[in-house]
Amino acid sequence: MTRRPNPVRWVGYAFGAGLPAEYREWVLHDVSTRTWALRHLVRTTVQLAPFVLALFLLLPVDPWIRAGAVLAGALLGYFYSVAYMYEAVEHRAVKAGYPRGTAAATRAAAHQDKNAERDERYALQWRQPVVDRSAPDRPEEPATDDPHGPGQH
């Protein structure tokens, strides 16, 4: 059974702090389990929450302007979080002592059967059989001495 970090350690982990070696297996589970993307978005929410709250409470403008500005900033934060999600979770695994690529390989291995079936269906639907191009399918045109080719003057 992997040991989970306590809430204080988890918040530090959510903000990018490394965890002690005893949580190494939990970190790999965190970045490779079926819900890894959702977990990443929860960590992003924890990172954005203090800034969202502070801006909403401290901006001296109408509440609807504050809400709009905070919402736009949060959406931008989520956009970049999703854009760099694979790199971010891979970096967490590296910080826990795993070689780069371990999180992605673990996720791929967990879905290997499903991915093989999907790839097979794709190949049957969209891939054409390989045609042997070594044999000509039409007779060769007669050779001519005209440098411009037949019929071009």
- CA 39, 40, 41: angle at the middle one, nearest 5? 90
In a structure prediction context, what are the per-residue pLDDT tens digits for the chain, which is 153 residues long? Answer: 578 999 999 999 999 999 999 999 999 999 999 999 999 999 999 999 999 999 999 989 999 999 999 999 999 999 999 999 999 999 999 999 999 999 999 998 887 777 788 888 888 888 876 666 666 666 566 666 666 666 565
- List strand residue ranges (DSSP E) for the chain, in order: none
User: 149 vs 62, 65, 138, CA distance in Å?
Assistant: 78, 73, 18
pLDDT at 124: 83
Token match 């949060």: residue? 74
